[in-house]
Structures are given as structure tokens and as C-alpha cells.
Structure 1
Amino acid sequence: MPRPVPWISALLYGVVLAGGLYHAAIGPGLGARTAAFTVLLCILAALDGRVWRIPAGAVFALRAALFCAVAAFDASGLSRVLFVLIPFLGFFAFGPTAGIALGAGCVILLAGAFTLWVPGWEVRAEYISDLLMFGLGVALALVTAAVAVREQQARDRLEGTLAQVALLSATRERNRLAHEIHDSLGHHLTAIGIQLEKAEAFATLDPTGSAQAVSHARWSANRALEEVRASVRTLGPEAESEPFGLARTLADLVHHLEDGDRRISLDVSGTERRSLLVLYRAAQEGLTNACRHSGATEIGVTVHYDDQKARLCVTDNGSGLDGAGEGFGLTGLRERVRLAGGTVDLCSSNRGTTLRVEVPW
């Protein structure tokens, strides 16, 4: 287990080194013993600063042996605090249970050492105090390790959650762009194809009608370019580069889709409170399906506004879905309307199709 708080060991090494050198300077003096004490602490610090490829148990045992060696060369006795690191390091190396067991073992070993080398220590306040302080230090070290591990785990979970959020956001944006391409470019490319087919068919029979079809195809191409630019500028779900009037925009759309073989009526009632791009996309989807796939000759588009919601209805007298399932366009439309808090209802038979969409203000 990686150690989230490596600075604790370094801090203790520094405190022990400063205390030992100060004690030697004011007491017995700096000599070979102090030099060995300093070198051993530097080795301990170097162990913490590297990633070893040997087993964690071997590194742990080496640290414990160095703690004992430092304590043997430390005349001040301050280095005993390093043994608090044994359960602390064991917690990260072997887990919480091993850390607690090592902590209890260190306290027991200290009490055993007092028993062997300090007769009557159990009635001497300074040794009782040392044992209690050491036990408290072990407990604080274990608590610190547990808190550090939980914090690291929480940070890892947070990073994982953020990564999932980023992935979902990217997926949602890709889906939005796919729906936007289908609803906008797909519709206009379909309209261009229909008008160009008409222009080719009537090129010699009806030059005026053919020229009008080419003009409508050109309008659809320009409109597609405008919508692509608007989508690139906004890059937001259901965002609009500027306000538009739904009734006017639908009238323009119907005008450029209507031809001699197909009559499209538009009826708008009520007062429009704000622009509703979702209804415009729904109308595009309904008109595209009716013009391209159903063979309808009569198509009706109605829009009604009231105080609570806006309603769109696209009906045709075509052949319906003819047993085919809903395609990408209708699936995307349902998702778009759902995000806007509205509903979609589709009824289809061999006598025609009705698409109803309601969106609250």
C-alpha cells in the first residue's frame, strides 16, 4: 500500500537528528558515536526517498533494524520516538490489522525492556510516563495512518468519479452533435435531394418548376450552412445563437418543401412566448419522414400555444412506417424532447402518420 504521508517519517528523522546533535554538542561532544548516529539517520531518510523493488517485508525489517541501531548510538534517548514509526509503517505495508498488532507489540516490548533492565520501574513515575507517552504516540500514529488511507481512498474514488463524469459528458456531447447533424444537416440534405430530383425530372417539361426546385435546394444548402455555424458557435445543448420566431421559421421551411406533388399546410394559433428549437427540430423530423419515406401528398403542420405548453402536430396521408421500427431520428427526437420536459406521441398506419410533441414553457 503506498504511503500517503511520507513527510511524517522525514519530520521525525529531522527532529531526532537535531536533538541528538544538540545533546552531543552540549554534553559528551561530537565523536564517532554521533557520526554513526548521523549516518544511520541519513540511510533511513534515503530509504524513504526511493522506490525499492525488493519485498515490502524486507524493507520494513531493514527500517526496524536501523531504528534499533540509531537508538543504540543515540546518547540523548530521543531516538526511541522512531519506534512509533514501526506500527505506522506496518499499517501501510501490511494493512490495519498488522499495524495494530505491531503497535501493541512495541508497547509490550518496551514494558519488557523496562522489566529486564530497570528494577522497580513500575513504581517510578518517569518510566510509567515514558510507557504511557509511547503508547499514546503509537495510538496517534495508527489513527494518522488510518485517516491518511481513508483520505487517499476518497481521493481515488473522487478521481474515478470525475473521470466517469468526463467520459459521460464527452459521450453526451458526441450524442448531441450526432442528433444535431441528423436533425439539421440530415433534413436539409434530404430536402436538397428531393428538390434536385424534381429539377432533373422537370428540366425539359417544366423549366420554371425545375428552376424553382433548384432555388429551393440552394435555400436548403444555405440554411444548413447557417445551422452548422450556429451549432459550432454555441456548442451547448439546445442552445440557439440568436432568437428566432418559430412560426416564421416553420413557414419558411414549409414553403421550400412544398411542390406540385405535395401540399403542406401550416396552422399556428396562440401566442409564442419564447423560441422553441426542440419544436422546430420535431417539425423537421416529421416533414423529412413524410416527404422522403411515406409518399404523402397531403401534410399538415399545426402549432398551438397555451399558458402551460406548446403543441406541435405533423400529420400526413402517406403509407406510414410500414412495419419498420423507429430510426435514429425519432429516437434522438424523443431524447431531445425528454430533456426539455416534454412528450412525444407517434401513431402510424397504412393510412398515414401523426406525430405529436408537447413541450412546457
Structure 2
Amino acid sequence: MTTRRRPPLLFLPLVIAVLQVFGTHVASLRQGADFTVPALLLLLAGPAFLVLRRRAPGLTVAGCAAMTLAYVAAGFPNGPFAVSLAIGLVLALVSRARWWAWGSAAAFAAGILGISLWRGESQYFGLLWLVVLLLGGELARAGRLRRVERRRAAAEQLKHQADQERLAIARDIHDVVAHSLSMINVQASVALHLAQKDPDSAKLLEALSNIKDGSAQSLADVRQVLSVLRQDAPRIPSQRLEQIPELLSGLTGLQTHYSPPDKEPDWVDEKVENTIYRVVQESLTNVVRHAQASQIEVAVQLTETKAQVSVTDNGIGLGDAEEGNGLRGLRERVQSLGGTVSLDTSDLPGSTPGARITALIPAPPAHQEKS
């Protein structure tokens, strides 16, 4: 992001000084008045205070007001002698030196009224000009505040999007790596058992083949997720419902049963399918790692109003285990679609209670109204 380059600090004071001196000198010639050295010094003193505008905008506007008032009090020729005061007022208002600006303007107005009463002259036009200038400065200040607020809101939105993107990538990597490593660990345990106890080389080769296929798929999934960081792949991975049987086939030593949906409503898009797939994947990972189960049932139901997926096992149950990153990420996935995740006791046959994870994703409100 490139930053706008500021003009040199002395540029504005020099321009204002030339404008005030030259303009007032020309005006004095037309008025037939003398343009004296004290008048010149006061015309240069106001712009000189503008050098402090970035560090001390309040002091700047106070100094400009004092020099301008002194010029008027001395009775020097009329002309553009108040340009430095006008610039100082606007800069002070925009630079959050609001009370300095209004205080200096009030003091200047009081001084002008005093001079007018003393000389018996009317300076109401100058006071009206001062009010208009203050209102213009307030409008400029309000516009600046709106721009700052818009930039702040845009920066917060970008940060929020970046945070959500990091969370999504972290969930994808966790789901892929945790599931694949769990499956590889199971297959490696089977292969080690066969190598030590069972002379059947066919079963050993099958286990080794499963390890090879699982690791290859894991690498492919990790590459797909990491490619998002290089911005050369879509954000949503391509896991679909038809890949769930393949997911279950990698579970060696477990009885599995899958109940697929009867139909797929129009509102079930790739994001919903990917979320259902990840729910099943994370649930299977937890079963393999912790449940000590022998049976697993996966059921997916899709209707015009909701999508429901449940993974049930006959393992050791929920126990007192704390919720880990996997289940937390699973909840975040489902909640991002307006859904909920619940855990309860399994009703599969067995001597242990088992566990069931159920995710419910509602259809979008517009589709439900249409139904």
C-alpha cells in the first residue's frame, strides 16, 4: 500500500506569504495608502506560524489570529491579509484542534468588535465571513472523520476476512492431516501385527497398500489446501457426498454402514456437501483415535428444509474428555452455515454406551419460504 507524499513543510507558508504580501501591496496602491515595513512584517508573521501546523495546529491558529488582529488594529491597508488565519482555522478544525480554532475565532471576533466600536466602523461583513469559514471547516472536519471511519471499517473487514481465511485453512489442514494420519496409524498397526503373528502375506500386502493409498491421498489433500495460500485453487475443496463410502472403506477392522440420502435438493451446494464430508471425516477420526469401537454407522438425510448427518459408534462413549481442536473446528464449520452440532449417547448394540455426533444444517431462509 503506497502512502500519499506530503508537500514540503515550507511550501504552504511561502505561498500564503506571497499571496498576502503581493495582494495587499497591490490593494494599498489602489487605495493610495502607504505599505510600511511593520505591515510587511505582520503579513509575514501569520504565514510563519503555518510552519507549526503539523506539530501544533492549535498554536498555529492562535498565532495567525493574533497577527491578523494586530494588522487590523494597526489600521494597515485592506487586502488578502487574513488568508493565513483562514488556512489556520480550517487546518486546526481538521487536525482535531477544534477548541483552539473556535477559541481563536471567538477572540478574533471580540477583538474586531472592540476595534469597530472604538473606531465607529462596521465590521459585520468580516464577522459573517468568519462564521462561514468556521462552518466550512466543520464540514471539512466531518468529511475527514467519515473518511477515517470508512478506512477503519474497511481495515477491520479485511482483518476479519483474513482471520476467517486462516481459521478455514487451519480447519482444513487439521481435518486432512488428523484423519489421514489416524488411518495410516491403524493400517500400520495391522501391518505390524500381521508381520509378527500372521504368515498370510496377502493380508500384509493389503495393509501396506492401504497405507500407500492413504498417504498418497493425504499428500494430495494437503497440497490442495496449501495451494489456497498461493491463490491458485478455489477456497472450497471438492469433497462431495459420493466420496463418503470411500472414506469409510479405509477403516480396517471396523464394521461400517452408510445410509446415503434419497435425493439431493437444489439448495445443497458444494459448500454444504463439503461441510457434511468434513463432519463425517472428523467424526471417524475421533472414533479411530479414541472410541475403541467395533461398529460405525453414518447416515445423511437431505430434505427441502434441512440437511442432517449423524455418525454413531459403539465405543467407550463420551466420558470426561475435553473438546479438542477437531470438534471445535467442526462446530465452527457447521455454525458458519447456521447449523448446530450435538453429542449424545449411541443406541448401537454393545456393552458400552458409545457416542453419536449429529450435525444439523438448515436450508437458506429464501429456499424454505419457497418450499
| Counterpart pick for 2:115 among 113, 116, 128 | 113
Deviation at 1:328, TM superposition (A): 1.5
- Does structure 2 retain, via aligned residues, the 8 Å contact 1:107–1:135? yes
Find the counterpart in structure 1 of residue 241 from structure 2: 246
| Counterpart pick for 1:264 among 237, 252, 256 | 256
Find the counterpart in structure 2 of residue 63 from structure 1: 64
Distance 1:93 1:281 in 2: 52
1:153-302 aligned at under 5 Å gives the runs: 153-204=145-196, 205=198, 206-234=200-228, 239-242=235-238, 245-247=240-242, 249-257=243-251, 259=252, 261-273=253-265, 274-275=269-270, 276-302=273-299
Would the alpha carbon gap of residues 307 and 168 (structure 1) be closer, same or farther in structure 2, given more than 3 Å must change? Answer: closer
Structure 1 residues 54-109: Cα deviation after superposition (integer angstroms, max 9, x where no partner): x7776555434533565559534442566666766776799545544443443332
Deviation at 1:256, TM superposition (A): 1.5
Given residue 75 of structure 1, which amino acid in structure 2 is its aligned partner?
Answer: P
Distance 1:239 1:59 in 2: 53
Distance 2:255 2:356 in 1: 16
Distance 2:125 2:343 in 1: 77
Bigger shift: residues 211-220 or 64-73:
64-73
Distance 2:23 2:172 in 1: 70
Count residues in correspondence.
Answer: 339
Partner SS state of residue 250, structure 2: helix
Would the alpha carbon gap of residues 93 and 171 (structure 1) be closer, same or farther in structure 2, given more than 3 Å must change? Answer: closer
Given residue 332 of structure 2, which amino acid in structure 1 is its aligned partner?
Answer: E
Find the counterpart in structure 2 of residue 311 from structure 1: 308
1:20-31 aligned at under 5 Å gives the runs: 20-24=24-28
Bigger shift: residues 35-44 or 190-199:
35-44
Find the counterpart in structure 1 of residue 369 from structure 2: none
Distance 2:95 2:326 in 1: 56
Bigger shift: residues 176-185 or 94-103:
94-103
| Counterpart pick for 1:352 among 351, 354, 361 | 354
Distance 2:166 2:76 in 1: 66
Distance 2:16 2:32 in 1: 23
Distance 1:238 1:304 in 2: 27
TM-score relative to the length of structure 2:
0.76
Deviation at 1:238, TM superposition (A): 9.3
- Does structure 2 retain, via aligned residues, the 8 Å contact 1:19–1:76? no
Partner SS state of residue 79, structure 1: coil
- Does structure 1 retain, via aligned residues, the 8 Å contact 2:339–2:360? yes
Listed as ranges, the gaps of 5+ residues in structure 1 are: 1-5, 122-126
Find the counterpart in structure 2 of residue 16 from structure 1: 20
Bigger shift: residues 304-313 or 231-240:
231-240
Find the counterpart in structure 2 of residue 3 from structure 1: none
Partner SS state of residue 319, structure 2: coil
Would the alpha carbon gap of residues 253 and 306 (structure 1) be closer, same or farther in structure 2, given more than 3 Å must change? Answer: same
Deviation at 1:280, TM superposition (A): 0.6
Distance 2:12 2:53 in 1: 17
Given residue 359 of structure 1, which amino acid in structure 2 is its aligned partner?
Answer: I
Would the alpha carbon gap of residues 133 and 10 (structure 1) be closer, same or farther in structure 2, given more than 3 Å must change? Answer: farther
Deviation at 1:293, TM superposition (A): 0.9
Distance 2:301 2:96 in 1: 70
Distance 1:333 1:61 in 2: 62
Q: Share of identical aligned residues, percent?
A: 25
Bigger shift: residues 161-170 or 55-64:
55-64
Listed as ranges, the gaps of 5+ residues in structure 2 are: 1-8, 347-351, 364-371
Distance 1:64 1:306 in 2: 75
- Does structure 1 retain, via aligned residues, the 8 Å contact 2:257–2:298? yes
Given residue 160 of structure 1, which amino acid in structure 2 is its aligned partner?
Answer: R
Partner SS state of residue 340, structure 1: coil
TM-score relative to the length of structure 1:
0.78
Partner SS state of residue 202, structure 1: helix
- Does structure 2 retain, via aligned residues, the 8 Å contact 1:24–1:75? yes
